[in-house]
Structure 1
Amino acid sequence: MRRILLSAVSAAALSVGVTSASAQSGSVEKAVGGYNFDEAAKEDAKTKDFHSADGHLTFAIVTHTAGNGFFDPVYVGAKVAGNMIGAEILLLGSESPVDDPAREIEILNQIIRDPKIDGIIMTTPQVGAYNDIVKAAEAAGIPVATTNSFDETILNRSGISHTGQDASAAAIGGEALAKCVLDSGKTSGSILLPSSTAMGNIEVNNRVTSAFNAIVKTLKDAGKLEAFKVDAGPENVGIDTNPNDPVNALVTLFESRGDAVGAFTANNVFTPPLVKAVEQMGWTGKFCAFGFDLGPAQQEGIAAGNLTGSLGQQPFLQGFWPVMQLYLQIDRGISAANLDTRAQLVTKENVAKVGKRFEN
């Protein structure tokens, strides 16, 4: 009898478990406005024929340096998003391994005339240089999204979405650098922030300033600011350093100071050279060196002890989200939905986790 009762209870429980999801308590079957969610979630019938009217969407993503590997995961992210929405993604950019806004603008001026293009994603490292591109795109009815570097003065800024890391995130690296110096037992010395303002990248300048302020604050809070010299140049945007021969320039800078205990570099132009400079100086594992981005050179430098840490800016998202934003703008009328990709501090403790599935 007991077995019969248990069997009956089990059968009842099973029948409850297989009831449809729509019968679950609290389920929402239709919108308050009366329309059906399944129907509302479908792509608009006109979306695939937007602008080019060729039956599919084509977006171009153009960067200011495709030659050093940083933008590789950006391109991957763009392709992933394109695959999700069935769009063709053209991967374009300056072939140079260093910032080359002039070449990027040349490519943009070509692509803006391509009748197949339905949307443009571009980096904007040189403030004030992209307004003509935006004007031409608007005149042609092509939506624009910006990514990575931010130009707050760009035409129609409030109507253009941006995906990227706010420069203030560099403070995470500055704070980590100051703590590294304090934990090292050094009681004095120079903390240097080399860069190149001649490259015209306002985003990098702002990173240096944010890192500088964080270093100063951390040392001050510890009561040690007077013991160290924090040098980011006369305007706190970087000690002017030659980007065309960065390794030798960094070694010369370190040797000229004679008391360097730490350094912070704010982009991919100077961080891989920082790795080589530390090794060349014989400071492996003895020098607080922090940089930007998480390419192979940075990861190898961290693992070897020539780079204490580096800040990633989630570049995969910097390709993925702008594609989705353009799609949403075309299909749903959503615009200027910005995304701050923040910063990921990577050190020897967690560097092995970086780079999975091409995302860093």
Structure 2
Amino acid sequence: MNTPPPPRTSSRSLRVAAFTSVVLLLLAGCSGAGDDSRLDTGAGAAQRAGAAGLRIALITHAGKDDAFWERVRKGAEAAAAKDGIELTYANDPDSTGQAQLVRDAIGDRVDGIAVTLAKPAAMKAPVAAARAAGIPVVGLNSGIDAWKSQGVLQYFGQDEIVAGAAVGDKLNGLKVKHALCVIHERGNVALEARCAGVKKTFGGETENLYVEGTDPEAVDAVLTARLRQDSDIDEVVTLGAQFALDAVDSVQAAGSRARVATFDLNDDLVKAIRSGSVQFAVDQQPYLQGYLAVDSLWLYRTNGNISGGGVAPVLTGPAFVTRTNVASVAKFAAAGTR
């Protein structure tokens, strides 16, 4: 998940792009049982479903040049290439803009929409409009507590409360006393859930620190100042790989004894884990989220399959990456798929 500088990186008019790379992936957890009332049985939809070249839109709350979301997109592209799908990718970190992108996709009469639900209230109406138009919608990455109530067909991602609780347990094992959980986007339900999960199981003091993730200099200044104010803080937990690397610098600038751990992974963070400057990362496997979301729409349109039976999310994490197992994921991180 993770957050977004403010400028939009795509126009509101979606453009179709075909992708050519072919990747074979073992897909687990797809079931065939579904609610027939949710199938679009119109003649036009049936003809499209039976033919090659389904048109799928992937719409996220990503910002420009965010490495995390490039992994989501790569996974989606791989699934689209395998399935012969014409995939459109569009994104807007502003929830109003993202909602409009969903409406644009409805207007383009796509065969399916995969969407993130970082701010579920803003997506409720456009998701309902898609369903009313007979367009199946699947969720990914954000909104695990909202997808079913909004009538989204399937969901792929990490249960952030569970992931945060696992981090809290790990901090207990490391004898941490005072953890600072750095939230880089206010109102993002997934980020709030991560810190809530940490607090749920961590036996020491948990403190949330809100920063403006779109301004790296401001993040560094606020975090450095807080660490200087309180020498008892002995752990900084960030919610995105790039923020962990910034936190390492802030700890050094503040002269703090705090260690750094994080959610999410990238190639630079793998190197930081190897060097010991970051203790561990929680990997939610964003490539897998993108892949499964797109592939699930193909399976639904061509065979009526619903992953998780439409009642349970398909979890892609949490998976801990530490110094002891980082070598096993390094080559995938370098390739931009982990």
Deviation at 1:206, TM superposition (A): 1.1
1:49-74: CA deviations, max 9, x gaps? 337x9852011111111432101121
Does residue 195 of structure 1 match 2:183? Answer: yes
Which of 239, 245, 248 in structure 1 is aligned with 2:209?
Answer: 239
Deviation at 1:214, TM superposition (A): 2.3
| 2:107 aligned residue | 113
Question: What's the % identity of the aligned pairs?
Answer: 25
Q: Structure 1 pair 109/272, CA: closer, same or farther in 2 (3 Å)?
A: farther
Q: Structure 1 pair 129/272, CA: closer, same or farther in 2 (3 Å)?
A: farther
1:89-140: CA deviations, max 9, x gaps? 122223xxxx54333223223222113x211101000021111211221232
Deviation at 1:158, TM superposition (A): 5.2
Return the structure number with greater relative CO, CA threshold 8 A, min gap 6: 2
Deviation at 1:323, TM superposition (A): 1.2
CA distance in 2: counterparts of 1:49 and 1:345, whole angstroms: 44
CA distance in 1: counterparts of 2:250 and 2:315, whole angstroms: 32
Does residue 342 of structure 1 match 2:312? Answer: no
Q: How does 1:60-71 map to 2 (within 5 A)?
A: 60-67=57-64, 68-71=66-69
1:227-246: CA deviations, max 9, x gaps? xx5122xxxxx233343321
| 2:55 aligned residue | 58
Does residue 86 of structure 1 match 2:84? Answer: yes
Deviation at 1:175, TM superposition (A): 2.1
Secondary structure of the residue that 2:88 maps to in structure 1?
strand
| 1:298 aligned residue | 269
Does residue 267 of structure 1 match 2:240? Answer: yes
Q: Structure 1 pair 172/161, CA: closer, same or farther in 2 (3 Å)?
A: same
Q: Structure 1 pair 165/335, CA: closer, same or farther in 2 (3 Å)?
A: same
Q: Structure 1 pair 150/297, CA: closer, same or farther in 2 (3 Å)?
A: same
The TM-score normalised by the length of structure 1 is 0.71
1:181-232: CA deviations, max 9, x gaps? 36xxxxxx53222325x6211111111111122222xxxxxxxxxxxx5122
Q: In 1, are the aligned partners of 2:128 and 2:150 still within 8 Å (CA)?
A: no
Structure 2, unmatched stretches of 5+, are 1-42
Does residue 145 of structure 1 match 2:138? Answer: yes
1:265-294: CA deviations, max 9, x gaps? 2335743422332343456xx643111100
Q: Structure 1 pair 300/282, CA: closer, same or farther in 2 (3 Å)?
A: farther
The TM-score normalised by the length of structure 2 is 0.75
CA distance in 2: counterparts of 1:120 and 1:346, whole angstroms: 31
Which of 73, 76, 79 in structure 2 is aligned with 1:75?
Answer: 73
Q: Structure 1 pair 155/209, CA: closer, same or farther in 2 (3 Å)?
A: closer
Larger mean CA deviation between 153-162 and 120-129 belongs to 153-162
Secondary structure of the residue that 1:149 maps to in structure 2?
coil
Secondary structure of the residue that 2:108 maps to in structure 1?
coil
Q: In 2, are the aligned partners of 1:48 and 1:56 still within 8 Å (CA)?
A: no
1:128-186: CA deviations, max 9, x gaps? 1111211221232211111000153457545520000001122222222232236xxxx
Does residue 206 of structure 1 match 2:193? Answer: yes
Q: In 1, are the aligned partners of 2:139 and 2:152 still within 8 Å (CA)?
A: no
Structure 1, unmatched stretches of 5+, are 1-44, 183-188, 217-228, 233-237
Deviation at 1:341, TM superposition (A): 0.9
Q: In 2, are the aligned partners of 1:170 and 1:311 still within 8 Å (CA)?
A: no
Does residue 101 of structure 1 match 2:95? Answer: yes
Larger mean CA deviation between 269-278 and 71-80 belongs to 269-278
Larger mean CA deviation between 155-164 and 55-64 belongs to 155-164
CA distance in 2: counterparts of 1:120 and 1:276, whole angstroms: 40
Q: In 2, are the aligned partners of 1:177 and 1:289 still within 8 Å (CA)?
A: no
Q: In 2, are the aligned partners of 1:71 and 1:315 still within 8 Å (CA)?
A: yes
| 1:135 aligned residue | 128
